[in-house]
């Protein structure tokens, strides 16, 4: 007997073979160590004249005890902060690095798109590099010949395909590298976020082709800092934090958990930081501020749904903007206006306390106005706020883009743009 039913196989062997059929990549107890040299000899003279000196180095563990299975035919993502070990793990899967401990087994032909220019010889032409990459993947010349026309058409580099790649721009490198990676019939495709270098048209072409590869059963492993993209494209993701595996699970669920963790870290680090624009931190007279000055805005405080002061607001959640003022005298009639602008300069909206409540009277001293929103409609980003205290055309205090308001996401499926619509979908229905 042979294969799965061979009499000399143990139950552990059978379980392992069965798992391999379900998994495209098996990662077991993987750790990766790098040496950081603080005082390394850099030339022959130093090696000869200073032979007694030892190179001083420190150990850096980029990954620690990572174990996971990447399912066959699925799109799998790696998320985490910069330096967490995502790209190192991709390189281990691609066979560029070897693990210090543990094992990485890929069941299928692996094609990787990692750093710009990886796998290219600068002196060879684009066409010659296609043959070089195909040979590395174990393909015959006839197989590469059949794929050549598709690769050239996909890259859009027909005019430059016989030119040495050392003169290519970063965008041209990405075009050719991605075209090679996806058109040489990969069983496992590894993509780092280098495709972000490409222009909008090429990115759309890339994602369309990735969708086609998914339908054909190709296993895709990818890294991107666009959490919305990861939640949309990936079936599952693994969250790596400082070299350790924090969790593996459904893409949308885990990206939301990662976002919550990032928000908590930012809130902790931002405690005590002023919301005023940096221009207002100086003692010089601000040329954009004007008014008679009997009452002036002194600060804006951001409150969450529980009324706690926070460093940033969360898109789609209840919040309050508390505008603090100081009045040097009694004011019989005044209204407060707020203006919202995106950091790109796009104007978002205006609101004014006089619209709902009419003008207010103020006593001398300090106080505040509250502007409450049941669901903050702004999408994640940085916004500047302008304030205006006025009455029937008379300006008491005007501050142009004086305050910074940061908006963060609590979920990864918010889409793009500046604001979110609050409509409800129904259907589909027959017509």
Tokens found for residue 375? 């669901």
On whether both 254 and 295 belong to a single domain, the answer is no
Domain membership flag for residue 268: no
Q: Is 165 exposed, middle or buried (0-12, 13-18, 19+ CB in 10 A)?
A: buried
Residue 217: C-alpha distances to residues 74, 104, 151 (Å): 7, 21, 20
**For residue 200, is it within any domain?**
yes
**Residue 422: strand, helix, or coil:** coil
Q: Which residues of the chain have pLDDT under 50?
A: 1-11, 13-14, 17-18, 20, 277-285
Structural domains of the chain, count: 2
306 in the same domain as 363:
yes
Are 110 and 245 within one domain?
Answer: yes
Q: What pLDDT score does 2 carry?
A: 34
> Where do the DSSP E strands lie in 328-375?
331-342, 347-352, 360-362, 365-373
Measured between alpha carbons, how far is 172 from 156 in angstroms, rounded to an integer? 9
Is the domain of 222 the same as that of 295?
no
- CA dist 293 and 394 (Å) reads 11
Residues 246, 166 within the same domain: yes
Q: Are residues 226 and 345 in the same domain?
A: no
What range does the domain containing 393 cover?
A: 289-408
Q: Are residues 248 and 115 both part of a single domain?
A: yes
Q: Is residue 224 part of a domain?
A: yes
Residue 43 lies in a domain: no
Same domain? 258 vs 312: no
209: domain CATH number is: 3.40.50.300
Q: What is the pLDDT of residue 156?
A: 87
For residue 64, give the H/E element and its range.
Answer: strand 56-71
Q: Do residue 364 and residue 301 come from a single domain?
A: yes
Judgement on whether residues 148 and 254 belong to the same structural domain of the protein: yes
| Residue 278, both tokens | 């940096």
Are 347 and 248 within one domain?
no
Q: Specify the CATH number for the domain of residue 383.
A: 2.70.50.60
Residue 307, classified by CB atoms within 10 Å of its CB into exposed (0-12), middle (13-18) or buried (19+), is exposed
Q: What is the pLDDT of residue 280?
A: 37
- Euclidean distance between CA atoms 317 and 51, whole angstroms: 65
Any domain includes 259: yes
> Considering the domain boundaries, does residue 88 fall inside one?
yes
Whether 301 and 255 map to the same domain: the answer is no
The pLDDT value recorded for residue 279 is 41
- Domain assignment present for residue 276? The answer is no
pTM for this model (two decimals):
0.67
Q: What pLDDT does 50 receive?
A: 59
* Dihedral of alpha carbons 155, 157, 161, 163, sign: negative
Q: What is the distance between the alpha carbons of residues 152 and 149, in angstroms, rounded to a whole number?
A: 5
Distance in angstroms (rounded) separating the CA atoms of residues 246 and 250:
13
**342 in a structural domain:** yes
d(CA 171, CA 192): 15
């Amino acid at each position: 007997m042979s294969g799965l039913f061979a009499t000399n196989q143990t139950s552990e062997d059978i379980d392992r073979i069965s798992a391999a059929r379900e998994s495209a990549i098996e990662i077991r107890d993987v750790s990766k160590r790098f040496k950081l040299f603080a005082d390394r000899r850099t030339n022959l003279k130093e090696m000869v004249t200073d032979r007694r000196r030892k190179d001083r180095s420190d150990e850096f563990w980029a990954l620690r005890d990572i174990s996971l299975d990447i399912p066959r035919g699925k799109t799998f993502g790696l998320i985490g902060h910069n330096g967490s070990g995502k790209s190192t793990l991709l390189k281990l899967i691609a066979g560029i690095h070897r693990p210090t401990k543990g094992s990485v087994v890929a069941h299928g032909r692996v094609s990787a798109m990692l750093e710009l220019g990886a796998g290219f010889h600068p002196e060879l032409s684009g066409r010659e590099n296609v043959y070089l990459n195909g040979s590395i993947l174990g393909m015959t010349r006839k197989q590469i010949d059949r794929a050549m026309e598709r690769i050239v058409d996909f890259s859009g580099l027909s005019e430059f395909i016989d030119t040495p790649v050392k003169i290519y721009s970063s965008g041209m490198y990405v075009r050719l590298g991605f075209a090679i990676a996806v058109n040489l019939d990969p069983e496992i495709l590894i993509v780092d976020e280098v495709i972000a270098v490409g222009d909008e048209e090429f990115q759309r072409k890339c994602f369309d082709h990735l969708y086609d590869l998914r339908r054909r059963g190709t296993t895709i492993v990818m890294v991107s800092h666009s959490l919305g993209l990861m939640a949309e494209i990936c079936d599952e993701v693994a969250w790596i934090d400082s070299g350790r595996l924090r969790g593996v699970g459904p893409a949308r669920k885990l990206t939301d958990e990662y976002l919550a963790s990032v928000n908590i870290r930012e809130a902790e680090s931002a405690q005590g930081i002023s919301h005023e624009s940096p221009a207002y931190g100086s003692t010089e007279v601000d040329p954009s501020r004007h008014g008679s000055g009997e009452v002036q805005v002194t600060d804006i405080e951001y409150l969450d749904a529980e009324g706690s002061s926070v460093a940033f607001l969360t898109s789609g959640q209840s919040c309050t903007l508390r505008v603090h003022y100081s009045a040097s005298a009694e004011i019989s009639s005044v209204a407060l206006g707020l203006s919202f602008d995106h950091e790109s300069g796009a104007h978002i909206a205006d609101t004014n306390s006089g619209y709902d409540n009419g003008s207010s009277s103020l006593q001398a001293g300090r106080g505040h106005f509250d502007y409450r929103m049941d669901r903050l409609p702004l999408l994640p980003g940085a916004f500047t706020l302008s304030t205006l205290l006025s009455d029937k055309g008379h300006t008491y205090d005007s501050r142009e883009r004086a305050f910074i308001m940061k908006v963060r996401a609590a979920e990864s499926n918010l889409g793009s743009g500046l604001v979110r619509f609050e409509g409800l979908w129904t259907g589909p229905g027959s017509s």
